[in-house]
Structure 1
C-alpha cells in the first residue's frame, strides 16, 4: 500500500509546506491583533466604553493562535506519516509520534476540543 503512495510524496510535501506557511500567517495575524488590542487598552487608559472593546482583539488572537496550532500539528503529522515515514521517532517530540491517520485525527481532535472540556458546566 505504501509503495502506491510514494509517487505522491512530492504532492504531500507541497501540502505540508503550504500548511506550515498558513500556520505562520496565522501566528503573524495573532501577533498583529494582540498589538492592536494592547494599543487600544493603553489609549483608553484601560477603560472599556461603548463602541470601544480592545479585549475583542485579544479574543480574536486566541482564535488565530489556536488555528495556527492546528495547522502546525496537521502539517507536521502529515509530513511524519507520508514524507518521513521511515525516519526513527527517537528524536521526535512525544506528541508527534503518530503512526496512522487515525492517531493524527485523534491528536487534532484533542487539540481542538480538550480546552473546552476543561469547563464542563458551561455551554459554548
Structure 2
C-alpha cells in the first residue's frame, strides 16, 4: 500500500519520501522536515498511534494523515493524539489526493464529516489503477 500511495501522490505532483517504520519516519522528519506526514496505523516496530503522538509532541503544528484498513479503534486514537485527518483503506485515488491537498492548504473538513473525534473518516474501495500498477511490478 505504501508503494500505491506514493504513486498516487507523485502523479498528483507531490514530492514523496518514504519510511518503512514509525521510528524511521520520525528520524527522517527530524533531519528533513516535511509539510505533511502520512502514516499507517499498523506497521513494523513503532505503530502509527505512537508515531503520531511523538511527532505531534515534537511539532504541534505538523499536519498528519493516519490511515488503516483494520485498526479503526487505533484511527480514533490517532485522531485523539493529533492526527489532522484519518482515512480508511482501501480508498479512492481522488479521495486521497483531495484530502492531501485540503490538509496542505489548511482546509477544515465540513462539520457533518466529523465522526467520534475523527476529523474525517473516509471509506471507499476504488484504488484500482494504483494497485494494478503495484501488482504488475511485484
* Structure number with larger C-alpha Rg: 1
Answer whether TM exceeds 0.5 for this pair. Answer: no
Q: Which has the higher contact order (CA 8 A, sep 6+)?
A: 1
TM-score, normalising length from structure 1?
Answer: 0.30
TM-score, normalising length from structure 2?
Answer: 0.28
